[in-house]
Structure 1
């Protein structure tokens, strides 16, 4: 008897097929034959997920690509993280967040697969090979030392794009350096590209025609940077051969309270056009799941350092071992044990006791998928005691708390976490 396919795997199959199909549906640079072939393959994958009892004609499939993703699911499969997700946005463009959801579904599938002890995970046979950022982590670990690992991880977060010379000077392992590629077509206007002021990755460039004029929109591929932090611009089409000049939109409201400490400067200079010649950028996987969360990890680490915490190559519990004075609040270690988790903070109390905070920073587009991954891992896979999300993911806390309580995990935003640590250490945060 064939084991029924789980709802998680059905959602994963539909998500992957929908993402590939929607991208082909909107990609006018691809040949018509290539687009049709991709659409037919995606249609076949969706039919396989729906089963023989729920047919979907090809014409209906094409129409549904412009609507709610959940409508592609077969009856009886709850949409969960796919609820209200739009495949193609109002501008007729492929919605890049689908790549994030696809990746996060595969992270959950991988965690479930690892948790299976009796070898009966036949429903996960479609699980894809290791993703780019997993290869990146393994490549950095091969250097063997904590110092080399931290440098490599930091470099990937601070330089998501740069000149060929700048990338070469990072001296990354070849298996990691291969993920720096020429600037993608989606981020180019003729030969020009623009770096996001937050993550430095090339921003998406799209053209918009009206009866009177043609304008262009430039926005970060990471939605929170574009919608919450001001990485969204327009420009008028310049004369032939001249670079465009970005016009910023209305500035977003500045974060307040504990979140203000880690917030990037939203009033920085407008990004300038850069020639694509000689520039490289990380591929999407390492950028989205190494650079983006890495920026929060580094920001929290730097903020604690600036408030007196001493950097430690590995977690220590004794100020004597580091040769610091009694007024030192404690130590902070980033990516301890070559990234078992993200931050280890020791707060030294005057009575000689040490209070430790083991933090794992998570930035999932779907909090439902993050909750599932925590359940599949049986808590935090690396042994952290706190799940920390970026401040702009605060709305995910109620769901995550309900899941994490089962595994004795605590949950906080990055800003609130920094404030709690500093309060315990007797130093000021905000």
Structure 2
């Protein structure tokens, strides 16, 4: 598929998603009118932007609302190429309620049905879609490439295009979730962008009259925060950031200088949803693997094993004991809400094999909730430190 074709598909997908979200807002009698108006205006703006003409003439709120009652094709970019089954849909029925076809359309476009019930903010919805599409793409890879692709999502989520192509090799183009950093004004100052030293993704830039504040939205709590004197950002020399946060990690990322990179079209970065759900989450998994290797050298760690299928859990840790091989199947979770995590795990079919749920050490307070709400026959919750102690005890014959 050519880049132009990919852009057309992306515009159509975004337009359909915006229409579904707006239809759900109009159909929700319990939603405050002000909130309905806000969602509808946001979706109308997104729909206008999805059209190549940028601001399609005649597409005002009245036309938008009427179009949701069908046929849908009248609202979509490139409607001549849209399948008739989609273009003929009526998202709202004659009573203004969601038609039954909406849920099917949402499933096909990876829109979580919960997003229509609340409804979700657009940014969250797009992030979920990006995550779903990336995971779908990864699962279609042969097992021999799956683990390598997952690791590249962690180690190379952004950078200069030639560098990324070399790193991704034959996977370049198969996992095509990159966007030009030049399209992200929030990540730029004076034509430069800055990669987080932990996750390697563009950091958020906020400026005032004399200074820029730069931070990673995922890792600011770990001290990844910087400042930049704006007078030093001008010119051809790449500016360096000054560390402003206090590192909370025992790793030495804070000793690495953060130097600006050109915010040009040949510098690319993962879509935000793909970065948040795959790069950031994968970094926590990689850190656990590295800690196990460091603390228990006898342990063999396999990331994302195909057991019983790729991504059933995050890591297989095996050690030799006096009684033979001992295997720990690990699912690494970094959630703020332990109750929501427990609901997410128990809403799915129970795992075929026992799973160790491992959370970061700073989330030790989550263990009582997880232990109470997860079935003990299938799960046991640990912090990173407690899990490593558990593995070490197995090697020494104490567990």
Contact 1:387–1:412 (CA under 8 A) maintained in structure 2: yes
1:218 paired with 2:187, answer: no
1:190 paired with 2:190, answer: yes
Aligned match of 1:230: 223
Taking a change above 3 Å as real, the CA distance of residues 383 and 47 of structure 1, as seen in their structure-2 partners, is: farther
1:401 paired with 2:371, answer: yes
Which residue among 95, 105, 129 is the counterpart of 2:109?
129
Paired with 1:122 and 1:164, the residues of 2 have a C-alpha distance of 41
Paired with 1:197 and 1:399, the residues of 2 have a C-alpha distance of 33
Taking a change above 3 Å as real, the CA distance of residues 368 and 44 of structure 1, as seen in their structure-2 partners, is: farther
Contact 1:379–1:407 (CA under 8 A) maintained in structure 2: no
TM superposition shift of 1:174? 5.3
1:302 paired with 2:282, answer: no
Map residues 4-23 of structure 1 onto 2, 5 A cutoff.
none
Taking only aligned residues, the RMSD between alpha carbons, in angstroms, comes to 3.5
Paired with 1:152 and 1:41, the residues of 2 have a C-alpha distance of 32
Map residues 86-97 of structure 1 onto 2, 5 A cutoff.
none
Using structure 1 for the length normalisation, give the TM-score.
Answer: 0.59
Contact 1:160–1:282 (CA under 8 A) maintained in structure 2: yes
Using structure 2 for the length normalisation, give the TM-score.
Answer: 0.63
Map residues 409-428 of structure 1 onto 2, 5 A cutoff.
409-426=379-396
TM superposition shift of 1:266? 5.1
Paired with 2:254 and 2:362, the residues of 1 have a C-alpha distance of 18
Contact 1:331–1:345 (CA under 8 A) maintained in structure 2: yes
Aligned match of 1:268: 255
Contact 1:198–1:264 (CA under 8 A) maintained in structure 2: no
Paired with 1:369 and 1:237, the residues of 2 have a C-alpha distance of 42
Map residues 3-402 of structure 1 onto 2, 5 A cutoff.
48-49=27-28, 51=29, 55-57=32-34, 129-130=109-110, 131-145=129-143, 147-169=144-166, 170-173=168-171, 176-183=174-181, 184-208=184-208, 213-222=209-218, 225-227=219-221, 229-238=222-231, 240-241=234-235, 244-253=239-248, 263-265=250-252, 267-277=254-264, 278-306=266-294, 309=297, 329-337=298-306, 338-350=310-322, 352-380=323-351, 383-402=353-372
TM superposition shift of 1:43? 8.5
Contact 1:344–1:357 (CA under 8 A) maintained in structure 2: yes
Aligned match of 2:46: none
Taking a change above 3 Å as real, the CA distance of residues 308 and 59 of structure 1, as seen in their structure-2 partners, is: closer
TM superposition shift of 1:148? 1.9
Question: Helix, strand or coil for the counterpart of 2:190?
Answer: coil
Paired with 1:48 and 1:172, the residues of 2 have a C-alpha distance of 46
Taking a change above 3 Å as real, the CA distance of residues 60 and 368 of structure 1, as seen in their structure-2 partners, is: farther
Contact 2:293–2:299 (CA under 8 A) maintained in structure 1: no
Taking a change above 3 Å as real, the CA distance of residues 48 and 398 of structure 1, as seen in their structure-2 partners, is: farther
TM superposition shift of 1:153? 1.0
Paired with 1:273 and 1:251, the residues of 2 have a C-alpha distance of 21
